Amino acid sequence: MAESGDKLRRLRANIDALEAEFCRTAREFPGSQVIEVGRATRVVSAPTRRALRARDQGCRWPGCDRPVEWTSPHHIRFWTRQGGPTNLANLVSVCHFHHRQVHEGGWKVVKVGRELQFLPPDRQLFGPARGPGVRQAA
């Protein structure tokens, strides 16, 4: 039981330290907006979205010419499965089509240094179309 009490005291000390740092930063930069929220929320805030749009200026998928207005933020390291934070370093703007390619088509977005790599799926996830006159190989 004493071990869980120690854990709670350490957690409370960490929370207090974070709150103090946040308040200090807010006092130093009055009128500023928070754009780095880490793991606090998956949803990208309006200030973060504006910064992302200014940085990416459109879909970052190689060869895609979709304007920034047609994009949405994508977590490079998934927020739910991989514990990725909601901050500019872990976000990329992709259009709806390419966002689906990542989430449903098996593509991966990997950050190597400052460069992004878009890796195709290891295997084909969708089979060939079937219909009249289309035969499946045996």
Domain ranges of the chain: 1-30, 37-122
Report pTM. 0.58
Q: Per-residue pLDDT tens for 88-131? A: 888 899 999 999 998 888 899 998 888 889 999 986 555 555 56
Higher pLDDT, 83 or 87: 87
Whole-number pLDDT of residue 138: 46
Give the C-alpha separation, 97 to 27, whole Å: 42
**Distances from the Cα of 42 to the Cα of 4, 9, 27, 55, angstroms:** 29, 27, 26, 20
Identify the three-state secondary structure at position 36.
coil
Mean pLDDT of 25-37: 52
